[in-house]
Structure 1
């Protein structure tokens, strides 16, 4: 009886192993189907639109393409878009570092409220953000009379573009740094201070090397968002051709003027920026995982 029982014991393990082996091809087939579906959908929703942009941009030849892309209004829009990124991204990097340091290294009343406030730009429509700034700094806004008394005009100028771009992109760097700094803890900084390092030395030689890839990753995302921003900028800039038009607004104006080739030529510039951003994002993600 005992021998019969012992001889029967391995059977369930063999059965389970066999069923596991039989389940592998099915699981592998499901994985292949899902991966294939992901590639197909990515091609339909990302690859095909990209192909259409460059097809329409170059369909009349390289000469026409470069003549459209070098129009003074388009060149100014490109320059203003780049200038906005140059101004906004470094400010948001500083803000993100300060906010992440405060949230992860200190405990104080209102800490959770501060974290929620940092997330607000992701919850508010860019159009609403633009209208809010218009009601705040416009000539009929809350601070309008005060600004006019000092002959200061903010709305429908380049500084207005900077302000709304800062608002809509402010969480990007902080959102990348806060989880990382929470996971890393403060032991390295405490050890450096114990050994006599100043606060600046601790930040430069300890904190910054630990967060550099996350910081750059957040900056890349912030830069992409700044260059593609349309809603908030369209409200506060006035869309003055050759003055306050960023590249997304210039594309809309060209399309509304039935200049399809010019619109797609300008769009190809944003598409190239998106491709470069995607490559940088991929590289920085790998660096962040490795580091």
Structure 2
């Protein structure tokens, strides 16, 4: 009896350690967290800290004096002008595209949705080159524009077009899921009560999509203000003429004006931080709305 029981149930050694699978995998979580923190430190935290350290290396007074240089002020104004033009354009386009895609079924609908993602797949430099090949002096429309004395390339119109291209998908991509989730019941109910199309949009549709719309507008503005590749190709990077804030940072650094370059970079970093804070606020608003 004893021999049989020992055959099926071998005796355990009290001195030998026994570890559960959870204990054996207990080291995985700290290691993964450590790897993630180390990666973020090398890619994000340390470079960002160095930007701020270099910007304030000469003191707060030197930092603010760099922000009063004429080239810097013109770059900020030009970036704001482009944003004031492009953001409303892409907001209207995004709303129209989202409405057409979610509220109508037509041939080529999937293809149009795929076209919205083209700016994500195409390099900004390639996008700028496409504009040059279209509107440049030797481009398709170059002779026509030259005949009517209209400058597109190396001027504000090309910079607006380039910024509009790279930031085109954000509003549409944020509004489409919200419209699909909201459905058409409330809009159809308002229509049966006699509401007109514009009344349905302002009083029913827009309140339902407001947080997603604001999120898309926020991302669009951040992309326009920080765009470098496409704008650098079509602008010529001419100081006090076609130089935006990101171009000013690159040119100042190349000219060994490191203090001015880092000061402008701090301003762009501040814009990014504001974008992240507003993004978190809008995401919380969206989660609260979903719970309700």
Change beyond 3 A, Cα 1:149–1:53: same
1:30 deviates by: 4.2
Q: What is the CA–CA distance in structure 2 between the aligned matches of 1:274 and 1:61, rounded to whole Å?
A: 23
Distance 1:93 1:264 in 2: 32
Match of residue 14 from structure 1: none
Which of residues 190, 196, 199 in structure 2 aligns to 1:198? 196
Q: 2:8 matched to which residue of 1?
A: none
Q: Secondary structure at the match of 1:242?
A: coil
Structure 1: distance between partners of 2:201 and 2:24: 52
Q: CA deviation at 1:23?
A: 6.0
Name the SS of the counterpart of 1:227 in structure 2.
helix
What residue in structure 2 maps to residue 93 of structure 1?
91
Measure how far apart 1:43 and its partner are: 3.0
156, 159, 180: which one aligns with 1:158:
156
Corresponding residue for residue 64 of structure 1? 62
Q: Distance in 2 between matches of 1:52 and 1:234?
A: 25
> Where is the helix percentage greater, Structure 1 or Structure 2?
1
Match of 2:175 in 1: 177
Aligned with residue 102 of structure 2, among 98, 101, 104? 104
TM-score (norm: length of structure 1): 0.88
Distance in 1, matches of 2:167 and 2:24, equals: 44
Measured after TM superposition, the shift of residue 277 of structure 1 is 0.7
* Cα drift, residue 271 of structure 1: 0.7
> Which ranges of structure 2 fall in alignment gaps of 5 or more residues?
1-19
Tell me the secondary structure at the aligned position of residue 116 of structure 2: helix
What is the alpha-carbon distance in structure 2 between the residues aligned to residue 173 and residue 270 of structure 1?
Answer: 21
SS state of the match for residue 58, structure 2? coil
The separation in 1 between residues aligned to 2:23 and 2:236, in whole angstroms, is 60
Q: What RMSD over aligned residues (CA atoms) do the two structures have, in Å?
A: 1.6
Q: Deviations over 1:211-238 (max 9, x none)?
A: 0001111111111111111110001011
Tell me what 2:78 maps to: 80
Task: Determine if the alignment matches structure 1 residue 268 to structure 2 residue 266.
Answer: yes
Q: CA deviation at 1:151?
A: 1.2
Structure 1 stretch 174-183 or stretch 196-205: which is displaced more? 174-183
Aligned to 2:17: none
How many aligned residue pairs are there?
Answer: 270
> Cα 1:212–1:25, aligned 2, differ >3 Å: closer, same or farther?
farther
**Aligned match of 2:131:** 133
Displacement of 1:42: 2.4
Match of 2:5 in 1: none
Provide Cα deviations, 1:248-284, integer angstroms capped at 9, x if missing partner: 1001110110111111111111011111111111111
* Separation in structure 2 between the aligned mates of residue 201 and residue 94 of structure 1, nearest angstrom: 17
Partner in structure 2 of residue 4 of structure 1 = none
Task: Tell me how far apart the structure 2 counterparts of residues 49 and 227 of structure 1 sit (CA, whole Å).
Answer: 20
209, 212, 215: which one pairs with 1:214?
212
For structure 1, list consecutive stretches of 5 or more residues without a partner in the other structure.
1-21
Q: Tell me which residue corresponds to 2:49.
A: 51
**Pairing partner for 1:230 from 218, 228, 231:** 228
Take 1:82 and 1:27, find their aligned partners in 2: how far apart are those partners? 52
Question: How far is the alpha carbon of 1:59 from its aligned partner?
Answer: 0.5
